[in-house]
Chain A
Amino acid sequence: MSTIAPERAVPTPRELTTEPRFSDKVFRAVVTVGGLSSLIILGLIALFLGYRGFEVLRQEGFKFLTSSDWSISTDDAGNVLESHFGLAAMLVGTILCSIVAVAIALPISVFSALFLNFYAPGWLKKILVTVIDMMAAFPSILFGIWGFLVLMPSVEYWAKLLHHYFGFLPFFKLEPYVVTRSPFVAGVVLAIMIIPIITSVSREIFSQAPLDRIQAAYALGATRWAMIKAVVIPHGKSGVIGGAMLGLGRAMGETVAVYTVLNIVFQVNWQMLLGAGGNVASLIILKFGEASPYEIKALMAAGLILFFLTLIVNALADVIVRATGRSGR
């Protein structure tokens, strides 16, 4: 039995550290800067549009939101003699068009989302989901031109029918009797554009409905509708509202599709069937071509208002969708 000289190898204590290495520090810094880009870009948008539009906003003050004049007169040298800029008609028009759009799109989207999740056989679901996602990727100019040349005659006919049979309802009132290029037409085109968005958000939310409760409902003898009413709708209600808000935000910011089908008039109009509407984004395209430098500033201010409007709507939508993603689990 040989003994080995007890040579006690005591390792020098290593220093344990969670300090990231240099390469990681660089990596983290780069990625963080990249991640902050969205903050920077959004901040710059608000800053620059505010900076350019400041002069007009200061001159018009609160009237920029409440009056609906849009006129500018210049002398031969291009100096501004008199100008009135007000967005009231455009804001009312934007809200009216997008509310019509959401009112049409929401029931259709919810029904088709229910169909996709709980009624359609697997193969049909796969096809329809692809088709609807594809529709969401279609460019807006396609909807605009198709809406103008193909859809508009039918929609104007529907508008006449609505007025004829439901004219006693306050929101189908029509005075004077002009139905061409009304906010209703724009609303229908926008509805077709946002149906895929609301459908896919609702589908996502509905598919998260707890399976055990669905099966419990069936086990208790519920019909499919009774199950949906008892389980799916309570679970997905606020998520669907969030999806609708997302669609509303998209509808408010839409430019080209609305511009092609809407008759823009600088007068506040709450009648959705009347052929005189307004839209902030379309106003910018309409006036941009021949605008003087000062009017461009007014358009920048209008862009700023639109930016904040869509930002608020989208933020609300995000908060609502996210709140349901967590609950009910």
Chain B
Amino acid sequence: MTTISAPAPTRPWKASPKDRLRDVALFLFAIVGTYVVVAVTPMKGKLAYFGLFFIFYMALTAGFQWFTRGSAAAKDAFVNSLVAIGAVVTVIPIASIIVTVVVKGSKGLHMGLLTTDMSMSAPTDPIASGGLLHAITGTLTLVVLALIMSIPIGILTALYLTEIRGSLTRPIQFLVQAMSGVPSIVAGLFILSAVLYPITKGYSGFMGALALTILMIPTVARTSQEVLKLIPNDLREAGVALGGTQWRTVAMIVLPAARSGLITAVILGIARIAGETAPILLLTGGGDRVNPNAFSGSIGSLPYYIWKSFNAGSPEAITRAWAGLLVLMVLVLILFSLARLLGTRKVAR
């Protein structure tokens, strides 16, 4: 009887225990070296630890590769650590921001935060008085108004770019791109000069919503366009082959198929404008009480509340600002996670 011995699968490219040991050893050497240098030389502080560690690690790995495998491998190891620094430096600020906002903002949380407004209290009062009700309702009002105006325009623009594809496609694509770069303060100034001064002559939530609409349209349009591009052409051809007009095809087939992706586009648009500050400062007046009428009278909003508290300067006011930032950040994070969740399946099956 002959036995067929199948060779055991090997993975020669995987790191052997020896390689792992070497990596760990180099890492430890770098840490030890950093400590020694920081202890001996006058270089101190977080920056010194951080910088020296990377220099040590880079030198050790590159040097090791140089002696064992030559200059090409040394360069590769050098770039390896450089690229890792890039990623670490990118992530450090965001970690710092999230930790700071959570730690400092949680001190400003109290029972009445979501049920009272600031009409009876000043930013410098003790934390327990007053709350965010006016700011949250105001931000909701602004966002809803901006949504009502920007969703149709944004999606129509996306439809023009994907469905009609007329002779103006390229210029409009270009203009949408350019519009996404319009500074928020310029959008605010535009509404100020075109609507607030000549027509309404007073602060209102609607003015703020108009400026936010300008900022939101390009986000909605570009994301929707990406989504509509993913809809297979077969669906459109099937619709037309069944005798549907283009209008019926788009309304009954293309848009429903892209629904969840379009929702993602809208959510990303909300995340873009929810924390927008500059136009709000110019246009809404930032009232301290809940204002249900979006078309007249100043209206509060989260960014305005944060800005006002931050500029009041006292420790209580700064804590208020952090609490406001915490609420705003949580709002943006929730919106962003929703968009991610829906965005993973951009096209309904």
Contacts and interface: CB of A to CB of B under 8 A. Distances in A.
Given A38-B218, A199-B90, A299-B189, A226 B181 contact: no
Contacts of B184: 140, 253, 255
Contact of A300 (B94, B96, B189, B321): B189
> Taking chain B's interface residues, is the majority helix, strand, or loop, or is none over half, making it mixed?
helix
Given A24-B245, A38-B217, A108-B86, A224 B277 contact: no
B247 A254 contact: no
Interface stretch (B27-35, B230-238, B303-311): B303-311
Contacts of B278: 140, 255-256, 281, 285
A69 B247 CA distance: 57
A285 B303 CA distance: 14
Contacts of B299: none
A250 B90 contact: no
A35 interface: yes
Contacts of A51: 193
B253 interface: no
Interface string A247-289: 0011011111000100000000000000000000100110010
Contacts of A38: 157, 172, 175-176, 178-179, 217-218, 221
B49 interface: no
Contacts of B190: 44-45, 48-49, 303
Contacts, number: 270
Interface string B294-330: 0000000001001100100000001001100100110
Contact of A226 (B76, B152, B160): B76
B101 A141 contact: no
A6 to B, nearest CB: 32
18 contacts: A32-B164, A33-B156, A34-B152, A34-B160, A38-B179, A45-B182, A51-B193, A107-B86, A108-B86, A111-B87, A112-B87, A130-B340, A139-B328, A140-B275, A141-B307, A145-B321, A157-B45, A317-B181
Interface of B: 45-47, 72-73, 75-76, 78-80, 82-87, 89-91, 93-94, 96-97, 100-101, 152-153, 155-157, 159-161, 163-164, 166, 168, 171-172, 174-187, 189-190, 192-194, 197, 214, 217-218, 221, 245-248, 250, 268, 271-272, 274-278, 281-282, 303, 306-307, 310, 318, 321-322, 325, 328-329, 332-333, 335-336, 340
